[in-house]
Amino acid sequence: MTTDVLTFTEGPLGRIRLNRPKALHALTREMCEAMSAALLAWREDLAVKAVLIDHAEGRGFCAGGDVVMLARSGADDGQEAAAFFHAEYRLNHLLFTYPKPTIALMDGITMGGGVGISLPCKFRVATENTRLAMPETGIGLFPDVGGGWYLSRLPGRIGQFMALTGARLDGAECHYLRLATHYVEQASLPDLVERLAKTPGRASGAIGAYTAVAPTAKIEANVPAISKLFASDSLEDVMAALEAEATPWAETELATIKSKSPLSCKVSLRLLAEGAQRTDFADEMAAEYALACRVVRTHDFVEGVRALLIDKDQEPKWNPAVPEAVLDETVDQLFVPLPPGEEWTPFPQA
């Protein structure tokens, strides 16, 4: 039993509170399993009308997953990492298919695994403190937890832009892109939670009562440039387009992409291209699981976590170091489905 996530009911409202503040509520396998256990129990409980996910204290909703553990496992036999991904992706899919209203309060840092537990929810509340990103290419990973599904469905190649650059979106930008369904000021959250506990069956009205007018989304001004310059699914084409544009914005984004793992960037573009064609979220999760189990064992992931999170020298040595040296065959091998008996499976439907 973990205390890193609190699960309880408050009247007819199921409550899931992330409670690992020193790690910005980053998810562990035990946390994922505890959340799933509560959701499965409440799915059958007629007294529970809706489920609310938030964090207990601190400035982050959820900063992601326990990537240091993943890298150490990847450097070994990868089994612990595979077990984590299996549990996390089951939780993601359970939320995506949940029959009761789910509400996520995305107050603060919402990255990686935090995106995975908020975007499947029916109601996604952003605040002025929301900072949402999928920064995985900076550590040699890729935007998983459904990133291939969600990002590929954003307008105007914004998903590809986010995957390659790890761009951080504020609450207004999340609302503009419909990553968040509502924008509520942080000061109103306690009152919102109190009202939800009283009338969880009318979650839409409760959230609407506290919704504020979101500021202008800064990303809106860059949508035409993003649509034009990130139009290709070829990493080399995107970088060439940014270089040819020669504006300060394009130069900044090009420099950002050059700091990321070339292999991860190519993997991410392919994941989004394939994700856009999928019609079942379970298929997305199965594909991402096979991919994740292989990517955590690559040089770039182990090196990226070392450079950014363990030694913190911020100087990862990617291999290959440039996009042109990343062979199509290398990417193809990462996307091969797992053999029978090893593939990811969702929880049985109710």
For tokens 């986010």, name the residue.
162
Radius of gyration (C-alpha) of the chain in whole angstroms: 20
Nearest to 105 by CA among 186, 174, 5, 26: 186
Q: Is 113 exposed, middle or buried (0-12, 13-18, 19+ CB in 10 A)?
A: buried
Of 14, 60, 113, 116, the active-site residue reads: 113
Determine the Cα–Cα distance for residues 104 and 53; give it in Å rounded to an integer: 5
191 is catalytic: no
CA neighbours closer than 13 Å in the CB half-sphere of residue 310: 16
10 is catalytic: no
Of 136, 173, 284, 288, the active-site residue reads: 136
Of 14, 60, 64, 65, the active-site residue reads: 65
201 is catalytic: no
57 is catalytic: no
Determine the Cα–Cα distance for residues 185 and 227; give it in Å rounded to an integer: 30
Please spell the DSSP secondary structure of 200-252, one letter per residue: GGGHHHHHHHH--PPPPPGGGGGHHHHHHHT--S-HHHHHHHHHHH--HHHHH
Determine the Cα–Cα distance for residues 331 and 17; give it in Å rounded to an integer: 38
Of 54, 88, 144, 284, the active-site residue reads: 144
Instruction: Tell me which residues are annotated as active site.
Output: 65, 113, 136, 144
